[in-house]
């Protein structure tokens, strides 16, 4: 997997933002939509800050952008401060001119008996939009992409999953205690991510160095779902020096 190492997370964010900016501007000029797969968590925050700056200062127009987020905790109300719905509006959508009807985030409020139908429709909506042009990813310490935890298969699609205990522990601070972290989530599948025409995985910090090393330098394995990206035709890892620290 092509890997670029930058001196700081700000540089990583800047690089990713320039790729997305170019794509949006080219599509806008051609009158076409740009379909973005988006992630939450600490990793993409700098990217979103830079995209907001480009919108405000450089006229980057999001009116033709269609977005699909990777995942949402389940069950969780959209208006909950911990929801990815809230995160995306606060950290990106509120500050740009994306159309509300073009925003898609898995719904943590759907009734249990309606989850399967919701997930099928999410996949259909991605396809109807023309497929993802680029998927932004972070990586969990378990090797998850989206919330596809170890054991996820190459072909899995959007579905309800159970979170790994390590993932729930890593989310504990945001929920004021591990006991408040939902046990489940709705996530795009590995297959959904693999269908994206381009993938940009970002990782920062020493705590990601080990899983980045296992993903890039070991054989492909279900035990590290991010390693499926070894088979993607256009995936790039964007790392800061700390996250690249265990690469040989
Ligand atoms: C978030 C997501 C997760 C995170 C990963 C890293 O939508 O799908 O895979 O990207 O857990 O989280 P951070 O960036 O907080 O270290």
Residues 6 or more apart whose CB falls under 8 angstroms from that of 161 comprise 147, 148, 149, 152, 184, 185, 186, 187
Report the C-alpha gap between 93 and 81 in whole angstroms: 15
Q: What's the complex ipTM?
A: 0.99
Low-confidence ranges of the chain (pLDDT < 50): none
Distance from residue 25's CA to the centre of ligand 1 (Å):
27
Report the C-alpha gap between 51 and 244 in whole angstroms: 25
For 182, the domain range is 3-240
Flag whether 247 is in a domain: no
Distance from residue 26's CA to the centre of ligand 1 (Å):
28
What is the C-alpha end-to-end distance of the chain, expressed in Å? 14
Please report the pLDDT score of residue 155 as a whole number: 98
Nearest CA to ligand 1 atom 14: 43
- pLDDT, tens only, 101-119: 999 999 999 999 999 999 9
Closest to 247 (Cα-Cα) out of 230, 237, 178, 196:
237
Q: Is the CB of 71 under 6 A from ligand 1?
A: yes
Please report the pLDDT score of residue 63 as a whole number: 98
Flag whether 188 is in a domain: yes
Nearest CA to ligand 1 atom 12: 41
Flag whether 12 is in a domain: yes
Look up tokens 């794509």; give the residue: 23
Please report the pLDDT score of residue 215 as a whole number: 98
Residue 59's CATH number? 3.40.50.1360
Flag whether 131 is in a domain: yes
Please report the pLDDT score of residue 122 as a whole number: 99
Q: Is the CB of 232 under 6 A from ligand 1?
A: no
Please report the pLDDT score of residue 146 as a whole number: 98
Flag whether 248 is in a domain: no
Calculate the dihedral angle through the C-alpha atoms of 39, 74, 196, 96, rounding to the nearest 10 degrees: -40
Please report the pLDDT score of residue 183 as a whole number: 98
Q: How many domains is the chain partitioned into structurally?
A: 1
Please report the pLDDT score of residue 78 as a whole number: 98
Please report the pLDDT score of residue 18 as a whole number: 98
């Amino acid at each position: 997997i092509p890997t670029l190492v930058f001196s700081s997370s700000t540089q990583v964010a800047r690089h990713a933002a320039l790729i997305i900016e170019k794509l949006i501007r080219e599509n806008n000029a051609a009158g076409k939509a740009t379909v973005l797969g988006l992630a939450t968590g600490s990793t993409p925050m700098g990217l979103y800050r830079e995209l907001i700056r480009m919108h405000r200062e450089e006229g980057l127009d999001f009116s033709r952008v269609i977005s699909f987020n990777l995942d949402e905790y389940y069950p969780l109300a959209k208006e909950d401060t911990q929801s990815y719905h809230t995160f995306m509006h606060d950290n990106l959508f509120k500050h740009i001119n994306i159309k509300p009807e073009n925003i898609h985030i898995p719904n943590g409020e759907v009734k249990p008996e309606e989850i399967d139908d919701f997930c099928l429709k999410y996949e259909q909506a991605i396809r109807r939009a023309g497929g993802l042009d680029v998927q932004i990813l972070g990586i969990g310490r378990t090797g998850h992409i989206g919330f596809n935890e170890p054991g996820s298969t190459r072909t899995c699609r959007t579905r309800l999953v159970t979170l790994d205990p390590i993932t729930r522990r890593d989310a504990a601070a945001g929920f004021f205690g591990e006991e408040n972290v939902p046990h489940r989530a709705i996530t795009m599948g590995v297959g959904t991510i693999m269908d994206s025409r381009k993938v940009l995985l970002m990782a920062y910090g020493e705590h990601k160095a080990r899983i980045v090393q296992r993903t890039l330098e070991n054989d492909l394995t279900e035990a590290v779902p991010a390693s499926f990206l070894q088979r993607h035709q256009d995936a790039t890892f964007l790392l800061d020096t700390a996250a690249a620290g265990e690469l040989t």
